[in-house]
């Protein structure tokens, strides 16, 4: 199972977030029940979107990043960062029975807090540049499918 968490998400990006969630939920992984999405907001709210994303009727829970980790129950945690030392090749180390949580920053600038990094088993970089959220999540899904599908 692949879980993607948008962490420390800025509530100001709700319109972009909607497009990202719809895109993820339309993926073949999601349709096969192999993708879970969790959104942790920097104001300590957690969202686990339903199959259909409706911006008007989202149900938020109170919770910290650590609470969101508890919900995800990951076997391994991969944090995406321009400063990462690992590459997407880390996905070849996992098997399809593991619950892999990939943490992506849910903001347009800045960095994840030290609390996020301290939980990481791997810190992966796609580029030294800060990429758009949807670019990162699409690359992650494609790499996961390439290495673990089946």
| 3-class secondary-structure state, position 77 | strand
Kindly tell me the sign of the dihedral angle through the C-alpha atoms of 11, 15, 16, 22: positive
Identify the bridge partners of residue 5 per DSSP, sorted by sequence position.
38, 103
- Give the CATH fold of the 2-148 domain: Alpha/beta knot (3.40.1280)
The CA distance from 50 to 64, in Å, is 20
The two three-digit tokens of residue 99, written as one number? 């619950």
The domain segmentation of the chain, as residue ranges, is: 2-148
Instruction: Return per-residue pLDDT of the chain as tens, 150 residues.
Output: 999 999 999 988 888 888 898 889 888 888 888 999 999 999 999 998 866 666 667 788 999 999 999 999 999 999 999 999 999 999 999 988 899 999 999 887 789 999 999 999 999 999 998 899 999 999 999 999 888 654
Which residues, 6 or more positions from 138, have their beta carbon under 8 angstroms from its beta carbon? 23
């Amino acid at each position: 199972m692949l879980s993607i968490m948008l962490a420390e998400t800025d509530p100001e990006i709700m319109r972009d977030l909607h497009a990202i969630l719809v895109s993820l939920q339309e993926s073949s992984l999601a349709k096969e029940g192999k993708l879970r999405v969790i959104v942790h907001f920097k104001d300590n709210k957690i969202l686990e979107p339903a199959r259909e994303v409706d911006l008007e009727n989202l149900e938020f829970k109170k919770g910290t990043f650590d609470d969101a980790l508890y919900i995800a129950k990951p076997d391994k945690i991969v944090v995406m960062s321009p400063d990462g030392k690992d590459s997407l090749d880390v996905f070849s180390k996992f098997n399809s029975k593991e619950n892999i949580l990939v943490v992506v920053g849910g903001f347009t600038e800045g960095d994840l807090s030290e609390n996020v990094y301290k939980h990481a088993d791997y810190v992966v970089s796609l580029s030294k540049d800060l990429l758009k959220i949807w670019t990162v999540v699409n690359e992650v899904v494609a790499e996961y499918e390439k290495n673990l599908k089946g």
